[in-house]
Chains A and B, each alone.
Chain A
Amino acid sequence: MSDCDRFRDLLIERLYGPLDPADREALELHLAICEDCEAAAADYELIHAASEELEEPAPRAETVELLLSAAAEEAAQARKVVPLFGAQRKFLAPALAAAAVLVLTFGVVVMYERFGEDEPGFREEIRAARAPAAAPESAEESKAGEKLEAAEPVPFPGAAREPAPVEEVATRSAARPPTDLHETETAGVAGLSAKLDAASGARLGDVELGDGSMSAGGAPGLAKAKGGKGRAGGRALKRPARKEKKRDTRSHRGRRRAERKPAVEKKKAKQEQAKDLERSRAEERRRSREDALDDRARGGAAATSADKPARRYTEPPPPAPAPKAAAEAQPAPSPSTGADDDADVLGAPAAGATSAEFEEAAPEAMVLADEAPRKSKRSSWRRRRKSAAAPPPADAAPMAEQARERDAGEGRAVEKSEAITAGVLLARARERKAAGDCRGALIRYERIMHEFPGYRRMDLVLLEAAECHQKLGQKRKALRLLDRLDKAYPAWLDRSKKMRKELE
């Protein structure tokens, strides 16, 4: 840019505003010596002055009116329409996008939690590996199967979410006699913790079959199984490689979680163990109590009731399994013979029997009814039923086995626990009925009918449920129950007839 060009720019700037003193001085000096720039300055001034005289066209009035009316319409619409989310509308799209991302992330996490660590088909392989243990093809296979069985913590990923295998593994490995490799290992706390680790590993699907520490101290059976031959052994050998591969493909987050879990699981397993022990003791106490009741009922109801009424009986019986002989002597009750059984033991209720009579007819229910309020609300029929319906806890297995042996393997224990649970339900139903809450009572009676169809006091359940329906004015339902009662329990025919008359 030449000097003149620079000063021409300054000349233009001077047209529209004052210049800096330095620029102004420099410009004046330049204009004094440059005729061209001086002439340009004169012309610029003239053009600038002339441009003020330029024609200024104005829009027509009609155009302005048209625009004003259009604006009025638009403004009216703007007042009517409330914009979506108002001023926050500009944040709507980002917010929606963020929500979508969150939902997707959550979905992915949930899917990962559910299926991420599960390998379809692998579970089947494990089942297949377990099955041959029961029917091995050869002696070697049988051996391998036994070893695999000994190395129970079958570490398939699908087991990760079920707590049972953990307990099972922990207790089985604790209860099982030591294998040959056990002899070479250090026993005691270290061994137990290692087993718990193994259990945790099984739970997590984070099995470290190939891990030296495991084979040395924790799961000897597994180490043995590794060397086993045959199908089961082969599976056991394959597993680590598969798992390693699987683990490598896991995300960093997944690996970290898997690393963190063993400690937590270890703790959980210990807590579970303690709980199970407690549960099994409670179960044991309950069984003993029931046995004592049976003995009392069988041995002489009159004498027992004279000394101490059945419904007042609250003391727990001695823990020793005294009633074993009695239990063996008494045949297992069946639903079909339940009525006769009760009739023998308790005496057939007379027609028009009152609630008190019914209470005497079902002493175990009354005992439990008395007992129940002393326990916390949480130890309701739900838990008892759960404990009755679900398989016994893993570490309670030996005790349960003992109990089963005591009952001569007749499945009596299960029936008893059912009877207890049904008895509790019956007692609750009666409480409701006595309180005038027939609907509440019916819920419980129906539960007994559906969940414990073989309950030996089903006659009472049917009769009392019919009474509840009668009170509620549900004639049809009451008659239906009476039909069932008549059919299954002819001893109650008189009472049934009386009720039918009342219903008619």
Chain B
Amino acid sequence: MAAFQQGDANAFGELLSRHQGPVMRYLFRFTGNRDLAEDLFQEVFLRVVKSAKTFRAEAKFTTWLYRIARNLCIDKARRNGLVTMVSTEEVAMGRNPDEGPTIGERLKSEGPDPETAAGRQVLAGKLSRALDELPEEQREVFVMRELLDMPFGEIADVTGTPENTVKSRMRYALEALRRRLRAVGTITAEEAR
């Protein structure tokens, strides 16, 4: 980033190649729409280009980058009325995910073994759908932790929330996903109808 600030255009190419995948993943998971994610991706990096002068070396680039991405996503979602702020309590009040067979058991009974690659792909599809249904706060923490491999501390910096809150959100997200994936057979049946 320092090189780009000095006027090195190639440095930006390097930055782009390093961060385009995770950013696009984050945006896609946040919006749930590929085209929208593409637009936002362009906007995020254009903003990086324009605001490069204001970036201070002591800040971490990824934190700065994902803050831009997150703010753009929130703005876009607000404009489109897509933001659904579901409280963690509401999510926690659902059916007890500990009841009934585990995800693996359910999948085994319904189709491929989740231990195999094919089974994992089937599960990933269901997980993707389950993720879309997660509240935004939990989804972004899950995406950042699972898909971007971001430490909880950095997630706390990007989202501007305490680290413990981030960890709690992660746990709620996992519990919510468990609950939804356990009910995957039901969902499949509904979809089939």
The smallest C-beta distance from B83 to any residue of chain A, in angstroms, reads 21
* Complex contact B121–A53 (CB within 8 A): yes
A54 touching B45 in the complex, CB below 8 Å, given contacts A47-B181, A71-B9, A75-B9:
no
- Interface hits, A260-301 → B, CB 8 Å: none
* Complex contact B16–A43 (CB within 8 A): no
- Interface hits, B116-141 → A, CB 8 Å: 117, 120-121, 123-124, 126-128, 131
* Complex contact B12–A68 (CB within 8 A): yes
B interface secondary structure, majority = helix
Whether B77 is near chain A, meaning CB under 8 Å from some CB there, is no
For A68, what are the chain B residues with a Cβ–Cβ distance below 8 Å? Answer: 9, 12-13, 16
For A131, what are the chain B residues with a Cβ–Cβ distance below 8 Å? Answer: none
A44-66 vs B, Cβ < 8 Å mask (1 yes, 0 no): 10111111111111111001101
For B121, what are the chain A residues with a Cβ–Cβ distance below 8 Å? Answer: 53
- Which of B48-56, B61-69, B185-193 lies at the interface? B48-56
- Which of A34-42, A167-175, A354-362 lies at the interface? A34-42
Contact of B171 among A12, A52, A59, A67 (CB under 8 A): A12
Number of interface residues of B (CB under 8 A): 52
Residue of A nearest to B12 (CB): A71
Whether A433 is near chain B, meaning CB under 8 Å from some CB there, is no
The smallest C-beta distance from A40 to any residue of chain B, in angstroms, reads 7
The smallest C-beta distance from B59 to any residue of chain A, in angstroms, reads 15
Whether B162 is near chain A, meaning CB under 8 Å from some CB there, is no
Whether A70 is near chain B, meaning CB under 8 Å from some CB there, is yes
Whether A91 is near chain B, meaning CB under 8 Å from some CB there, is no
* Complex contact A50–B171 (CB within 8 A): no
For B53, what are the chain A residues with a Cβ–Cβ distance below 8 Å? Answer: 78
Contact of A54 among B42, B46, B124, B171 (CB under 8 A): B124
Whether B159 is near chain A, meaning CB under 8 Å from some CB there, is no
For A56, what are the chain B residues with a Cβ–Cβ distance below 8 Å? Answer: 21, 24-25
Whether B76 is near chain A, meaning CB under 8 Å from some CB there, is no
A48 touching B146 in the complex, CB below 8 Å, given contacts A55-B128, A74-B52, A78-B6:
yes
For A43, what are the chain B residues with a Cβ–Cβ distance below 8 Å? Answer: 97, 102-104, 174, 178, 181-182
Residue of A nearest to B96 (CB): A36
For A63, what are the chain B residues with a Cβ–Cβ distance below 8 Å? Answer: 38, 41-42
* Complex contact A39–B9 (CB within 8 A): no
Residue of A nearest to B39 (CB): A63
A74 touching B42 in the complex, CB below 8 Å, given contacts A36-B98, A40-B98, A43-B181:
no
State A12–B104 Cα separation when bound (angstroms).
Answer: 18
* Complex contact A57–B103 (CB within 8 A): no
A59 touching B24 in the complex, CB below 8 Å, given contacts A46-B103, A47-B177, A47-B178:
yes
Residue of B nearest to A38 (CB): B102
* Complex contact A12–B41 (CB within 8 A): no
For B175, what are the chain A residues with a Cβ–Cβ distance below 8 Å? Answer: 8, 40
Contact of B41 among A40, A44, A46, A59 (CB under 8 A): A59
State A68–B9 Cα separation when bound (angstroms).
Answer: 8
The smallest C-beta distance from A11 to any residue of chain B, in angstroms, reads 9
Contact of A12 among B50, B102, B170, B182 (CB under 8 A): B170
The smallest C-beta distance from A15 to any residue of chain B, in angstroms, reads 9
* Complex contact B104–A78 (CB within 8 A): no
Whether B111 is near chain A, meaning CB under 8 Å from some CB there, is no
For B50, what are the chain A residues with a Cβ–Cβ distance below 8 Å? Answer: 74
* Complex contact A49–B12 (CB within 8 A): no
Q: Give me the interface of B with A, judged by CB distance under 8 Å.
A: 4-9, 12-13, 16, 20-21, 24-25, 28, 34, 37-38, 41-42, 45-46, 49-50, 52-53, 97-98, 102-104, 114, 117, 120-121, 123-124, 126-128, 131, 145-147, 167, 170-171, 174-175, 177-178, 181-182
Taking A54-B124, A67-B49, A71-B13 as given, write out 12 further A-B residue pairs in contact, using a Cβ cutoff of 8 Å, ordered by the A residue number: A43-B97, A44-B174, A53-B117, A57-B24, A57-B34, A63-B42, A67-B45, A67-B46, A68-B12, A74-B50, A75-B9, A78-B7
What are 30 A-B pairs with beta-carbon distances under 8 A?
Answer: A9-B167, A36-B98, A40-B98, A42-B104, A43-B104, A43-B174, A43-B182, A44-B174, A47-B103, A50-B123, A51-B127, A53-B123, A54-B147, A55-B128, A56-B24, A56-B25, A57-B24, A57-B28, A58-B21, A59-B24, A59-B38, A67-B42, A67-B46, A68-B16, A70-B49, A71-B13, A72-B12, A76-B9, A78-B52, A78-B53
